[in-house]
Amino acid sequence: MLETLTTACRPAATPAELAAHHAVRHRVFVEEQHVFDGSDRDARDDDPLTIHVVAYAGTTIGGAVRLYPLDPAGERWQGDRLAVLPEYRVHGLGTPLVRYAVRTAAERGGLVMVAHIQLRNVGYFQRLGWHCDGEVETYVNLPHQPMAIDLRPRAEGS
Ligand SMILES: CC(C)(COP(=O)(O)OP(=O)(O)OC[C@H]1O[C@@H](n2cnc3c(N)ncnc32)[C@H](O)[C@@H]1OP(=O)(O)O)[C@@H](O)C(=O)NCCC(=O)NCCS
């Protein structure tokens, strides 16, 4: 009964949580979607500034996302590798993961967050406040829509 489970997102804090983060990504992007051949890890995963997030459904990690600053000032952030295991989908893990990534980048001084979004997920991100930010482009060998969200707090009445 997934609907009754408590969900929570946080940065991977132990080797086991980091392994679970990578296991979710591997299952989704390597085994399910075949976006990557063998491994989806890249140099960003070795960068100490990269934040590897896990999403718990009850006591089990069912989702992951990572985020990192794109510039030395930490004003522009990227989120990627958003993945929820198939058995946990459409039960509200993806949305907290996206919101957690956005909130975390904002708390760290980010002004804007960008992402390359698979075309089937553009509507999903629009519902979460993101907007299209340029033409469709090839990213990891697949068409992706560049999208962005403003991280600055809105002034009252604006
Ligand atoms: C995209 C993904 C992360 C969404 O995670 P999820 O846990 O299923 O999403 P949620 O349960 O938080 O969904 C919230 C709402 O969005 C809807 N939704 C989910 N995926 C959607 C999609 N691709 N397009 C439009 N709506 C979608 C759900 O139906 C739900 O609607 P509701 O609130 O009316 O019930 C998940 O489907 C996934 O991991 N897919 C494979 C990997 C992937 O595509 N990653 C993103 C790469 S850009």
**34, β-bridge pairs:** none
Q: Give, using CA atoms, the residue closest to atom 42 of ligand 1.
A: 83
Give the HSE-up count for residue 88: Cα atoms under 13 Å, Cβ half-sphere.
25
> What is the 6 CA–ligand 1 centroid distance (Å)?
18
Tell me if 111 sits within 8 A of 152, measured CB to CB.
Answer: yes
Query: For the chain, which ranges sit under pLDDT 70?
Result: 1-4, 155-158
Q: Determine, yes or no, domain membership for 157.
A: no
In a domain, 58, yes or no: yes
pLDDT number for residue 157: 56
- Whether 25 is covered by a domain: the verdict is yes
Provide the pLDDT for residue 2. Answer: 53
- Angle 21-22-28 from CA coordinates, rounded to 5°: 100
CA distance 51 to 11: 6
Is 155 contained in some domain?
no
Pocket of ligand 1 (CB under 6 A): 28, 82-84, 89-95, 117-118, 120-121, 123-124
pTM of the model: 0.94
Q: For residue 156, tell me if it sits in a domain.
A: no
The structural domain count of the chain equals: 1
pLDDT at 153: 77
Q: If you measure from the C-alpha of residue 156 to the centroid of ligand 1, how many angstroms do you get, rounded to a whole number?
A: 31
The bridge status of strand 76-84 relative to strand 112-118 is parallel
89 Cα–ligand 1 center, Å: 7
Q: What are phi and psi of 116, to 5 degrees?
A: -100, 120
Q: Which two tokens stand for residue 38?
A: 């063998």
Atom of ligand 1 nearest to the CA of 84: 39
Torsions phi, psi of 151, nearest 5?
Answer: -100, -5
Strand 60-69 versus strand 51-57 pairing type: antiparallel
Give the position, in ligand 1's atom list, of the atom nearest the Cα of 96.
12
Residue span of the structural domain in which 70 resides: 2-150
| Per-residue confidence (pLDDT) for residue 1, from 0 to 100 | 47
Q: Of 90, 145, 147, which is best to mutate to test ligand 1, by the most ligand atoms within 8 angstroms of its C-beta?
A: 90
76-87 pLDDT, tens digit each: 999 999 999 999
Residue 135 lies in a domain: yes
pLDDT (0 to 100) of residue 158 = 53
Residue 158 lies in a domain: no
pLDDT at 140: 86
Q: What is the C-alpha to C-alpha distance for residues 137 and 120, in angstroms, rounded to an integer?
A: 14
| 73 CA → ligand 1 middle, Å | 31
**DSSP character for 14?**
S
Q: What CATH number does residue 39 fall under? A: 3.40.630.30
